[in-house]
Amino acid sequence: MLLSHPSGQYQFLRGIEPYSCGVRAATGFEIARAILRSAVPWSSGFELIEAHLAAVGLGREALCAAELRCPAPFTFAGFAAFNRQWCARLRAWGLYVGDANPIARTQVAPVVAPPREVHLHAFAYVRPARRAWGGSPPPSFVIAGAGELRDGILAEDQIIRRGETSPEAIAAKAEYVLDVIEERLRGLGVAWQDASSVCAYTAHPLPAVIAPRWFGRLGALAGRHGLRWVYSRPPVQQLEFEMDARGVWAETWLECD
């Protein structure tokens, strides 16, 4: 279900309590992405987000997406406990729309040099469009990370080919996740060719079978931007593959004191 944020100048696809499935900037606005040069603990990261938004003349309501990095995949119970803390912070900021969480999120566990605690890696926010594109501007959106869970249900029995890590199983998981991302794109009224970046998060080599099948579906996007493989694990144990996408044409790096 596509909902409008009453003050954030964006629409969002309703997801589950911890995050929405994706966001899209309203007409006349764009999504900007801020990447932290040095990641900071997620809780204090909100102070950095607020300071940056204030510096560019925006309020908390402009925040629309976040990217987190964690030390290792959580158990399902541990992930639920973290999500309760995350949701409480968003509620305290007044970001919920009724009972719906509008903030998209990707959270993964780096295989190499993982953080000691959950860190904020990047965030995205909505601002008035600052570029004259000529004609219709490209859509500006963020698709939240998705793993191989049927219908996004956070339960072990919903994992696609649970416990399997053969190339064939990874390919099946990846195909399912690709379908989920594609469905979210349609829900936001965008398509693969509108994306500026598509990321796959897994600790497993991408099976050779993925390239021809995926690039055939991604179309021109594959030729222009390719597919980025981030050597990380999904945020929950037993999941093996995650993916997200975004169409963001303004990015900046933030120094962290």
CA gap 174, 187 in Å, rounded = 20
Q: Does the pLDDT at position 54 exceed 70?
A: yes
Alpha helices in 32-145 (DSSP H): 42-55, 76-92
Residue with tokens 């996004």: 152
CA gap 33, 143 in Å, rounded = 13
Angle, CA of 136, 138 and 144, to the nearest 5°: 150
CATH code of residue 106: 3.30.1330.40
8 CB-side CA count, 13 A: 27
Angle, CA of 235, 241 and 244, to the nearest 5°: 80
Q: Does the pLDDT at position 236 exceed 80?
A: yes
How many domains, the chain?
Answer: 1
- pLDDT on residue 135: 64
Least confident of 30-44, 73-87, 104-118, 212-226: 212-226
- What one-letter code names the amino acid at 49? I
CA gap 73, 216 in Å, rounded = 31
Residue with tokens 């589950």: 16
Question: Mean pLDDT, to the nearest integer, of 230-237?
Answer: 97
Q: What is the DSSP letter of 127?
A: E
Structure tokens at 5: 């944020």
Closest CA to 118 of 108, 104, 131, 126: 108
- The pairing of beta strand 228-233 with beta strand 141-147: unpaired
CA gap 149, 158 in Å, rounded = 5
Tell me if 154 sits within 8 A of 80, measured CB to CB.
Answer: yes
- pLDDT on residue 209: 65
CA gap 2, 14 in Å, rounded = 6
Question: Mean pLDDT, to the nearest integer, of 14-29?
Answer: 95
Question: Mean pLDDT, to the nearest integer, of 30-52?
Answer: 95
Q: What is the pTM of this model?
A: 0.95
3-state secondary structure of 184: helix
pLDDT category of residue 226 using cuts at 50, 70 and 90: confident
- pLDDT on residue 257: 66
Question: Mean pLDDT, to the nearest integer, of 163-176?
Answer: 93
Question: Mean pLDDT, to the nearest integer, of 12-33?
Answer: 96
CB within 8 A of 48, min separation 6: which ones? Answer: 36, 40, 120, 254, 256
Closest CA to 179 of 219, 151, 211, 138: 151
- pLDDT on residue 132: 64
Structure tokens at 54: 């204030």
- pLDDT on residue 223: 65
- What one-letter code names the amino acid at 21? C
Query: Which domain, by its residues, includes 31?
Result: 2-254
